Amino acid sequence: MVPWLSRTALDTIGVATANYDLQAIDGGQPNSLTQAYSNILNMKRIKRYMQVVRASSQDVVDKQTALFAEGKGGSKNLMSILNPYSTFFFAGHGSTSSTMAWALYELSNHPEYQTKLRGEIKTTRAGVTRRGDGEMTILDFDLMHYLPALVKAVYEQLSKETLRYHPIVCSIARQSNSDTSISLDIPITLVTGEVVDSFPIERGQEIILSIFNYNRLKSVWGEDADEWRPERFLENHGLEQRTKLGLVSNLASFSSGVRGCIGLLQMQSILFELIDNFEFSPPPGDVEILRAFTGTMAPMYVR
């Protein structure tokens, strides 16, 4: 599933941002971007991937600009999005496809959520038809319950819970630009027995922040933090008062800055169609799914 989800993410990025078909799916062969992205495990490969991303982005801009000049569509303003377009490719399609893969993995192990989602999808489609529209809108996705929860964890809740339980980036590093200290919300006991509620940071010191650990912190998410349970985003456990982290439901998955993830709606729209048209189940036999680092944390199965 992961390679095909990656191709799907590439094609949706191409169409949504530049009205351009990258033919990652219909081409039949792996796209140059997907080939370059495969197994990114070191900086040399990341640099090579960025070279391919830049070249592919420039190719899209050139072709669309030429179409505009010939009066055949396209756009004359694509040069202004060349750098963001490269970012969409690098940061968008791998993380999106891996998150969707984890969401489908959890759904295959929890078929009851597939049933709930299909019911919600059927109701949403009926509402779109009643008002005379042919396509879903952003508001339609926002009004769903389970699909956003799937991606967060069933549509919005599924989305959120998957981002919480399976963060694609498990940690981030930050470097202090001055001497300071970090206050702790919950005091900790050192191996010496000393209890501290803050610790000093020197200028230039690098700090590793664990997204994975925070997203499963029981003091934030409850005693069932190690369980994939979308309903937690539909319930009020006082989590909003406990923490105020980031832009999406107290998740550390996108750090805690002011920038959000444009891939959330992309994931929801793709999962909407997949779940509406297919049923998902675990692979046959004794198969173990492991988390593997391939640039992002992707599922890998071992027999």
Q: Is 169 exposed, middle or buried (0-12, 13-18, 19+ CB in 10 A)?
A: middle
The count of residues in the chain is 303
Relative to beta strand 288-293, strand 297-302 is antiparallel
Relative to beta strand 206-210, strand 195-201 is unpaired
Cβ contact 206:173 at 8 Å: yes
User: CA 299, CA 276: separation in Å to the nearest integer?
Assistant: 23
19 φ/ψ sector (left φ>0, alpha ψ -120 to 50, else beta) = left
Alpha carbon dihedral 75, 57, 159, 237, in 10-degree steps, equals: -90
Structure tokens given for 236: 């009020």
Cβ contact 277:121 at 8 Å: no
For the chain, report the end-to-end CA distance as a whole number of angstroms: 17
Cβ contact 254:261 at 8 Å: yes
For residue 182, the surrounding DSSP H or E stretch is: strand 180-189
Structure tokens given for 188: 């900790």
Was 261 annotated as part of a binding site?
yes
User: CA 97, CA 156: separation in Å to the nearest integer?
Assistant: 17
Q: What is the CA radius of gyration of the chain?
A: 21
Annotated binding-site residue numbers: 261
Q: Which residues are annotated as a binding site for heme?
A: 261
